[in-house]
Structures are given as C-alpha cells and as structure tokens.
Amino acid sequence: MTNAARHAQTHNCAVHLQAEDTRLTLSIFDDGRGVEPKGRTGVGFHSMRERAEELGGKLTIESGAKGGTRVTALLPLLAESETEST
C-alpha cells in the first residue's frame, strides 16, 4: 500500500481477504493512475509475483479502463494434516 501511495498517486486503497476451503485470495484495489497494460512492472510487482509463486500461488495485476489497479494473490491453503507433518 505504501508503493500505491508513492508511485500510483492514489487517494484510496482497499484490501479484501477471503479464505475458502483450499485457497486464500488477497486483493488490493486503488484509485491511482493504474499501470501500463504492456509496460514494465517494477521491482515491487516482480518481487510479489516471485513470493506468491514460491508459496505455490499466483499473482495478477490489472488496471481499470479509467485508472486504478487491482493486485490479486491466489494462495493455496495447507490442510491441517499437511501443517503437522512439516
């Protein structure tokens, strides 16, 4: 959220967290200037994508037609039996 305020000239930012049976979805929305559709993403986006993939998940970055950005991380949840064996 700090990067959204610093780089996207955003005034509002919202976080949505949803846990389902096997997946956790974390979405962050802002009303800033958005990102270029085919432009380079910065180190922050690259780092977030790598961390999501290390956890077996996926990160998507989308811009709205009138600006704003949505960053969504889809992360797998471990079953209780999986956490006990690690």
Higher model confidence: residue 58 or residue 81? 58
Domain-located, residue 82: no
> Considering the domain boundaries, does residue 85 fall inside one?
no
User: What pTM was estimated for this model as a whole?
Assistant: 0.77
Inside any domain, residue 69: yes
Evaluate whether residue 84 is within a structural domain.
Answer: no
Determine which helix (DSSP H) or strand (DSSP E) holds 2, and give its type and residue range: helix 2-7
86 occurs within a structural domain = no
Residue 68 lies in a domain: yes
Position 43 scores a pLDDT of 80
Neighbours of 4 (CB within 10 A): 20
Q: Are 32 and 21 in contact (CB under 8 A)?
A: no
- What's 25's domain CATH number? 3.30.565.10
Q: Is there a domain that residue 26 lies in? A: yes
Burial degree of 63 (CB within 10 A; 0-12, 13-18, 19+): middle
Domain that holds residue 26: 2-77
C-alpha of 68 from chain center? 14
Instruction: Quick: pLDDT tens for 64-77.
Output: 888 899 999 999 99
Domains in the chain, number: 1
Cα separation, 4 vs 66, whole angstroms? 16
For 9-63, the pLDDT digits (tens) are 888 999 999 999 999 999 999 998 887 766 556 687 889 999 999 999 999 999 8
